[in-house]
Amino acid sequence: MKKAIFPAMALALLYGCASTPTEEAKPGTPTPSAATPAPGAAAASPSAPTTAPIEQTPSDLLSKRSVFYDYDKYDIKDEYRPILQAHAKYLAQNRGKKMLVQGNCDERGSREYNIALGQRRAEGVKRTLLLMGAAGSQIEAVSLGEEKPRCSDHSEACWSQNRRGDMLYGGEY
């Protein structure tokens, strides 16, 4: 019943570095939250048709890992559906792959309530991926609440980056 994910010390330190504020990240232009390359990129790159526009290649969509939210909201905006579609397809085609979805909140309000709100965001992403073809056993939805902010300023510019759901594949967390 008790399922633990065992981090190596080095990985924990690496992750700490990767999750420090990235100033170039802007709402609506999500960037990968982990430093490791997307699994899809590695798998698809050698055979990807080079003539296709870059935005439409699966590897490009798979490199996008984040969904951003409005304040106090957890609904997934339409603009993120192609990204989720790509990840769901990748998961459906690679049943051995596991994903951790982490829900995040901005710093305002109760820390514990934000754990619950972040969980709802993460579960929204998970549910959408399941509807799009991924399997429940592949995805764990968890919340980081307001505890792991990507951006640490106390302004809406920062908060909008922190209201976020991240998709991480096995080996990236």
Partner 1 sequence: MNRAALFLAALLVFLAGTARAQLTIEITGGGANQIPIAILPFVGETMLPQSVTEIVEHDLSRSGRFRTLFVGGVSPLPAEPSQVNFADWKSRLADALVIGQTQRLPDGRFEVRFRLLDVPKQTQIGGIVFTLTAAQVRLTAHKIADFIYEKLIGERGVFSTRIAYVVKQGSRFELRVADADGQGAQSILISPEPIMSPAWSPDGTRMAYVSFQNKKPIVFVQSLSASRQPAPVANYRGSNSAPAWSPDGRQLAVVLTKDGGSQIYLMNPDGSNLRRITFSGAIDTEPFFTRDGQFIYFTSDRGGSPQIYRMPAGGGEASRVTFDGDYNVSPRISPDGKTLAYIARNSGRFQLMAMDLDTRQAQPLTDGQNDESPSFAPNSRMILYASDVENRGVLAAVSSDGRVKQRLTIQAADVREPSWGPFLGN
Binding residues for partner 1, rule: CB under 8 A, are 1-7, 9, 12-13, 15-16, 20, 100, 102, 107-113, 115-120, 123, 140-145, 147-148, 154, 173
**Closest CB to partner 1 among 25 and 117?**
117
Exposed, middle or buried by CB within 10 Å (0-12, 13-18, 19+), for 26? middle
Shortest separation between residue 135's beta carbon and partner 1, angstroms: 14
Q: Which is nearer to partner 1, 25 or 168 (CB)?
A: 168
Minimum separation from the CB atom of position 50 to partner 1 (A):
36
For partner 1, give the closer residue by CB, 60 or 173.
173
Question: Minimum distance between the CB of residue 87 and partner 1, rounded to whole angstroms?
Answer: 19
Between residues 77 and 154, which has the closer beta carbon with respect to partner 1?
Answer: 154
Cα(137)–Cα(147) distance, rounded to whole angstroms? 26
Q: Min. distance of Cβ 124 from partner 1 in angstroms?
A: 11
Whole-number minimum distance, CB 115 to partner 1, in Å? Answer: 5
- Pick between residue 5 and residue 131 the one whose CB is nearest to partner 1: 5
3-state secondary structure the chain: CCCCCCCCHHHHHHHHHHCCCCCCCECCECCCCCCCCCHHHHHHHHHCCCCCCHHHCHHHHHHCCEEECCCCCCCCCHHHHHHHHHHHHHHHHCCCCCEEEEEECCCCCCHHHHHHHHHHHHHHHHHHHHHCCCCHHHEEEEEEECCCCCCCCCCHHHHHHHCEEEEEECCCC
Q: Residue 125 is encoded by which pair of tokens?
A: 């992403």
